[in-house]
Amino acid sequence: MSILVQPDTKVLVQGITGSFGAKHAQLSIDYGTQVVAGVTPGKGGQIFEHGGQKVPIFDTVAEAVKQTGATASAIFVPAAFAADAVLEGVDAGLAVVVCITEGIPARDMIRVKRAMQGNTQTRLIGPNCPGVVTPGEGRDSQGGCRIGIAPGYIHKKGHVGVVSRSGTLTYEAVWQLTCRGAGQSTCVGIGGDPVPGLSHLDVLKLFNEDPDTHGIIMIGEIGGSAEEEAAAWIKAHCQKPVAGFIAGATAPPGRRMGHAGAIISGGKGTAAAKMAAFRDAGIGVADTPSEMADTLLKMM
List own/partner pairs for 248-251 with CB under 8 A and 24 or more apart. Answer: 248/221, 248/222, 248/223, 249/222, 251/222
Cα torsion through 194, 197, 203, 209, rounded to 10: 150
The enclosing domain of 19 has a CATH number of: 3.40.50.720
Residues 169 and 65 in one domain: no
The tally of domains found in the chain comes to: 2
End-to-end CA distance of the chain: 19
Residues 85 and 170 in one domain: no
Residues 195 and 94 in one domain: no
Predicted confidence at residue 263, as pLDDT, reads 58
Residues 167 and 96 in one domain: no
Predicted confidence at residue 262, as pLDDT, reads 55
Residues 160 and 109 in one domain: no
Predicted confidence at residue 255, as pLDDT, reads 62
Predicted confidence at residue 269, as pLDDT, reads 75
The enclosing domain of 212 has a CATH number of: 3.40.50.261
Please identify which of the residues 155, 159, 200, 259 carries the catalytic annotation: 259
Residues 16 and 109 in one domain: yes
Which of 107, 125, 143 is the last residue in one of the domains?
Answer: 125
Cβ atoms of residues 183 and 135 within 8 Å: yes
Residues 108 and 202 in one domain: no
> Which residues, other chains included, contact 135 with Cβ-Cβ below 8 Å and sequence gap of 6+?
141, 144, 152, 155, 156, 157, 158, 183, 184
Asked whether residue 272 is assigned to any structural domain, the reply reads: yes
Asked whether residue 150 is assigned to any structural domain, the reply reads: no
pLDDT per residue of the chain (300 residues) written in tens, 0 to 9 = 789 999 999 999 999 999 999 999 999 999 999 999 999 999 999 999 999 999 999 999 999 999 999 999 999 999 999 999 999 999 999 999 999 999 999 999 999 999 999 888 999 999 999 999 999 987 677 889 999 999 999 999 999 999 999 999 999 999 999 999 999 999 999 998 889 999 999 999 999 999 999 999 999 988 888 999 999 999 999 999 999 999 887 777 666 666 655 555 555 578 888 999 999 999 999 999 999 999 999 999
Query: The domain containing residue 43 runs over which residues?
Result: 10-125
Residue 96's DSSP bridge partners are 72, 123
Predicted confidence at residue 256, as pLDDT, reads 61
Residues 106 and 228 in one domain: no
159 is catalytic: no
Residues 52 and 164 in one domain: no
Residues 96 and 25 in one domain: yes
**Nearest to residue 35, comparing CAs of 11, 17, 52?**
11
3-state helix, strand, coil in the chain (%, to 5): 35, 25, 40
Asked whether residue 265 is assigned to any structural domain, the reply reads: yes
Which of 108, 125, 142 is the last residue in one of the domains?
Answer: 125
167 torsion bin: left (phi>0), alpha (psi -120 to 50), beta (else): alpha
Residues 77 and 172 in one domain: no
Which of 106, 125, 144 is the last residue in one of the domains?
Answer: 125
**Nearest to residue 10, comparing CAs of 70, 60, 56, 63?**
70
How many Cα atoms sit within 13 Å of 260 on the Cβ side? 17
The DSSP 8-state label assigned to residue 268 in this structure reads B
Residues 93 and 166 in one domain: no
Asked whether residue 2 is assigned to any structural domain, the reply reads: no
